[in-house]
């Protein structure tokens, strides 16, 4: 796997690096021998996770406290990465928030906060690191979006709208910067067990009820998402640009299957099959 992905000595920047997914991505990149830049808000967590990765995998790591919505902090992060490593190979945009609210109760401030972090933050980091990639004539971006970018996540305020924006931003980057050797793709996870959602799955009814909706009949794990991210971040996907990779076990292609039929869909088909 290490040789197949060829990520050794690549310089990878991950935003949201100490969140549920970010922790997994940074570890998997480090395990492949990549040097990892960890960007997030919590200095203590960043420093300790960064040190642990360097000790465990013998790679170089660089923790940077930076708010992805603040241009000056992100620009300073780019300077720091270039001063330390001389280049930036991969950017993984992960930092986002999900806040619940029915639309009719959502304040404009709450809407703006979500747009600021989930969409404008992705733009700010993409532009700042992208300028360096354009200069280098090479670079690769993977943006964590969600299946909720396509199908609305009800009662989640601006979340789906912001993520739909991320999917289009990624395509626009691909279309404008492909000529400079920069690729941009999205990963769209759904129904994944993360530290945040773990509590849901301790209820066997929820576990069973959710698994039943998925074509693959199981809940996604962090490995499933991380494998997709590493593939898109590697040269193995070199001719994939502006794509959206759904990693949802087939949940999103199951709509017709969710519509009840007398006796159950499969039984109905068996009973009415013309031999
Ligand atoms: N968890 C899921 O099941 C799921 C499903 C689909 C998509 N996603 C997407 O995956 C990504 C990560 O989700 P997660 O479960 O790891 O969430 P998380 O809350 O565990 O991690 C998010 C991280 O982003 C950081 N962050 C938030 N705002 C920031 C800012 N302004 N600047 C810098 N860092 C900031 C947080 O500090 C946190 O460490 C998100 O983009 C989310 O939309 C998650």
In Å, how far from its chain's centre is CA 137? Answer: 24
pLDDT band of 3, cuts 50, 70, 90: confident
| Residues known to be catalytic | 159
pLDDT of residue 39: 99
Q: Write the pLDDT tens digit of every residue in 37-64.
A: 999 999 999 999 999 999 999 999 999 9
Q: What is the mean pLDDT of residues 132-157?
A: 98
**Minimum-distance ligand 1 atom for the alpha carbon of 192:** 3
- 164 burial (CB, 10 Å; 0-12 / 13-18 / 19+) is middle
Q: Write the pLDDT tens digit of every residue in 218-252.
A: 999 999 999 999 999 999 999 999 999 999 999 99
214 contacts 191 by C-beta, under 8 angstroms: yes
HSE at residue 134, side-chain half, CA atoms within 13 A, is 12
**Minimum-distance ligand 1 atom for the alpha carbon of 148:** 6
Ligand 1 center–CA 131 separation, angstroms: 24
Secondary structure of 70-101 in the HEC alphabet?
Answer: CHHHHHHHHHHHHHHHCCCCEEEECCCCCCCE
List the structure tokens of 208. 């069973």
Tell whether pTM > 0.75.
Answer: yes
pLDDT of residue 1: 53
pLDDT band of 149, cuts 50, 70, 90: very high
Q: Which domains does the chain have, with CATH numbers?
A: 2-271 (3.40.50.720)
């Amino acid at each position: 796997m290490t040789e197949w992905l060829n990520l050794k000595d690549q310089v990878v920047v991950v935003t949201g690096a100490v969140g549920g997914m970010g922790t997994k991505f940074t570890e998997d990149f480090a395990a492949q021998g990549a040097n990892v830049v960890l960007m997030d808000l919590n200095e203590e967590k960043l420093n300790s996770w960064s040190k642990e990765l360097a000790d465990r995998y013998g790679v170089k790591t660089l923790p940077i406290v930076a708010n992805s919505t603040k241009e000056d902090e992100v620009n300073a992060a780019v300077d720091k990465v270039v001063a330390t490593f001389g280049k930036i190979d991969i950017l993984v945009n992960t930092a986002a928030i999900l806040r619940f609210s029915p639309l009719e109760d959502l304040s404009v401030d709450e809407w703006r906060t979500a747009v600021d972090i989930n969409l404008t933050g992705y733009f700010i980091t993409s532009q700042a690191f992208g300028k360096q990639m354009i200069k280098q004539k090479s670079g690769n971006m993977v943006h964590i979006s969600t299946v909720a970018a396509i199908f609305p996540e009800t009662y989640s305020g601006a979340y789906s709208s912001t993520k739909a924006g991320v999917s289009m931003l990624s395509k626009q980057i691909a279309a404008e910067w492909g000529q400079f050797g920069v690729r941009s793709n999205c990963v769209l996870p759904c129904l994944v067990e993360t530290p945040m959602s773990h509590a849901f799955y301790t209820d066997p009814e929820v576990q069973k009820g959710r698994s039943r909706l998925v074509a693959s009949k199981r809940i996604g794990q962090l490995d499933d998402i991380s494998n997709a991210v590493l593939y898109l971040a590697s040269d193995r996907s070199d001719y994939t640009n502006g794509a959206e990779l759904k990693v949802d076990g087939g949940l999103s292609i199951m709509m017709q299957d969710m519509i009840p039929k007398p006796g159950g869909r499969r039984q109905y088909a068996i009973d009415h099959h013309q031999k």
